[in-house]
A and B are shown apart, each in its own frame.
Chain A
Amino acid sequence: GAGVSQSPRYKVAKRGQDVALRCDPISGHVSLFWYQQALGQGPEFLTYFQNEAQLDKSGLPSDRFFAERPEGSVSTLKIQRTQQEDSAVYLCASSLAGGTKGEKLFFGSGTQLSVL
């Protein structure tokens, strides 16, 4: 595709519900990143994939957060038993090359998650 696509654009969940957020990276991009951005703050790193391998998940805040990229393209970020503190914008980004040595990132518009 022309850019990184994320869906849904907005998600409202009741506390305790599970949610799944989707990211379609730019075709051919090897690296995929998930970030969490709270209101008025900068993006916080969650996890990183190189193709289908999840090489870094050090930023995931709890074991309720799970990410996958089974075929090395589309990625899903799943949050189980959502809590109010999970409310944030979840940003996906991709880059052409593998590795994490500071390649230029292309971001999607994000999914705004509101947990009531």
Chain B
Amino acid sequence: SQQGEEDPQALSIQEGENATMNCSYKTSINNLQWYRQNSGRGLVHLILIRSNEREKHSGRLRVTLDTSKKSSSLLITASRAADTASYFCAPAGNMLTFGGGTRLMVKP
């Protein structure tokens, strides 16, 4: 299956701490994307990292990709209560598919 599997399934941290979420996948990819979903809303694209890239930054987000290990990580630095959401990785091969997500709670 192409879909990613996120780890941990749930994460609870204090505001100001960093949050790290991991993703593993099984087959070759063109790119890997991370999405965020607030409760009751659709998914919002956060960042895309191509298969020939190893690291990418966007604001407080840092994504890494290790194609040899078929894994990626998403780091959110200096977390805020507003970062509370579910985060999904989407390895992109022939179709964009999603895992079960990591539910992040940031306590004020």
Chain A contacts to B: CB under 8 angstroms: 4, 33, 35, 40-45, 48, 56, 91, 93, 100-110, 112
Contacts and interface: CB of A to CB of B under 8 A. Distances in A.
Nearest to A106: B45
B97 A45 contact: yes
B42 A42 contact: no
Given A42-B88, A42-B100, A42-B101, A105 B30 contact: no
A17 B88 CA distance: 33
B12 to A, nearest CB: 16
A106 B101 CA distance: 18
A64 B88 CA distance: 29
B94 A43 contact: no
Nearest to A92: B42
